A and B are shown apart, each in its own frame.
Chain A
């Protein structure tokens, strides 16, 4: 057993991994059935990253997740009732039905911008002299966006308390990271900004947690930003819609090989092998997770849609008469 994670905590980690996985699987299923509109960008297979990071966070720390961040959000304690309600476009949703999957709970669905946002949050912490840390998630695809470079450089020169977390799942839609970068590890880029970069096994909760803990503590104690690259793999398609396109950009063998290192499987094997719990204990958790998923979907399904006039609300935080203008009438 890992000393930081006694039995109860270990089982809770399992529950959250499972809940994150099932949330996304269920969302895709309901999307395919036409009940959830739009597209879901799932991170099935990548759950250990958000969970490992969440274990290292302290109260008051803020994360800026990506469009593939449902499981990370759940790991941080979000209530899936309101998440499903958002995906269903209901008024009870996290964003009152204005954001959907890609902007759930106010995250940015534009690649790389969460690095800015996190650096900005960290700047606020630093100006106010608060001992808090921001985490900015991005992927291997976003790594090549100019704004990511700008954010990292400014975070470095101002020594901002921010940890940039690269969820490297090896493909930007279909483009391999081996094509888009010559580097073995994207964390090598940290050296160019003058801060620390680490690459860890993103399928292993403990590896992510340990690295995140070290980097968050450094940021908190005034040592500035860092880059944590978590090597991982997306078992599902880029987005729910692309599954229908039947794109061939990776071999079935490759996918199967990575599935053997499924983070939930690694964690549950570990718990059973180390006799922290039995397979039956985990089965009980699985059943509870299923119940929670079903209840949350029911909550979403039975929630009200927003009023049609809500379409024009919240466009401005300081409202003025006459704006926004309607498109007709």
Chain B
């Protein structure tokens, strides 16, 4: 076990898999110099055939990776930021995601997409979190919140024979945690109880786990006990663990930093109302990003993005 940063855990996961498997190549904008820190040193280690800088052509390089994957390679793609995923939406959703099914199982498209989620004064075109979009389209989508989860889940993503979207919240990238030095994998579809509690289940995704843990500490002093369920993988989703937790507490708040309407939180709320109806003592609540374009000014931005104080307010409302 080493206490390392999230970013280092991501980098280690990729590096160790690349050392083991020659069919993996790493591709994206500015990856040879390691602009975003994940691929620092990869070029020296693996050379230009396996560490491929691309022009600014998101649609093009996602499509090329699909073609290479169908021909036996296992590409790992790095997006510069979250919103650039939209450039490649046809290539992701209509191509990569559909070939295995459409071909009757003949083609496999094992591609891992690493997508950093920018946060803070990035304004309108650099702040959207498109994970609900990819989940909606049936694409395997993961959102690790800790260094340990990141390494184990990314190794699973790289070994998976389907395209997998990996969203990396910028707010957790610098956070530290204990991570084994060697390889290990965490299977998809296994949520994690980040904190046990009795009164309310908080379904927290990505960096909202940090805020939920903060809120739990504060509320503990008031005698309110939060249970924090981190799904870790959004598709597949660990429904059993979610249901078990809500059936225990009888109350649920979904705490998610993506848009509210038709968002990931809405899906969780629907599942809870369907499967936990008998045990619910209060309505299921959501604390999410507003259905609004993220503004630049920090003062305005605060009105749009969810944080721990909003969660505390909702919890107090439910407990009353």
Contacts and interface: CB of A to CB of B under 8 A. Distances in A.
Interface stretch (B9-17, B104-112, B204-212): B104-112
A64 B103 CA distance: 13
Interface in A34-69: 62, 64
Interface string A150-161: 110110011000
B67 interface: yes
Contacts of B237: 322
Residue of B70, B102, B104 contacting most chain A CB atoms (<10 Å): B104
A103 interface: yes
Nearest to B240: A322
A96 B105 contact: yes
B95 interface: yes
Contacts, number: 152
A99 B102 contact: yes
Interface stretch (B36-44, B58-66, B123-131, B287-295): B58-66
A153 B59 CA distance: 12
A121 B188 contact: no
B50 A314 contact: no
A186 interface: no
A106 B57 contact: no
Interface in B69-121: 69-73, 90-91, 94-95, 99-110
A318 to B, nearest CB: 4
Interface string A113-137: 1011111111111110000001000
Nearest to A310: B104
A320 B103 contact: no
Interface size class of A (residues with CB under 8 A): 35 or more
Contact of B235 (A93, A127, A158, A323): A323
B91 A120 contact: no
A84 to B, nearest CB: 15
A322 B239 contact: yes
B70 A120 contact: yes
Contact of B140 (A93, A113, A316): A316
Contacts of B308: none
Contacts of A320: 187-189, 236
B25 A106 contact: no
A157 B188 CA distance: 37
Contacts of A123: 64, 67-68, 73
A173 interface: no
A106 B67 contact: no
Contacts of B72: 124
B107 A98 contact: no
Interface of A: 62, 64, 93-99, 103, 105-106, 108, 110, 113, 115-127, 134, 146-147, 150-151, 153-154, 157-158, 313-318, 320-324
Interface of B: 25, 49-50, 52, 54-55, 57, 59-73, 90-91, 94-95, 99-110, 138, 140, 160-162, 187-189, 235-237, 239
24 contacts: A64-B67, A96-B104, A98-B104, A105-B103, A106-B70, A113-B91, A113-B94, A113-B95, A116-B91, A120-B64, A120-B65, A123-B67, A123-B73, A127-B25, A150-B57, A151-B64, A154-B57, A154-B61, A154-B64, A315-B100, A315-B101, A317-B108, A317-B161, A318-B162
Given A122-B67, A134-B67, A314-B101, 6 more contacts: A94-B104, A119-B67, A127-B49, A147-B60, A314-B105, A317-B162
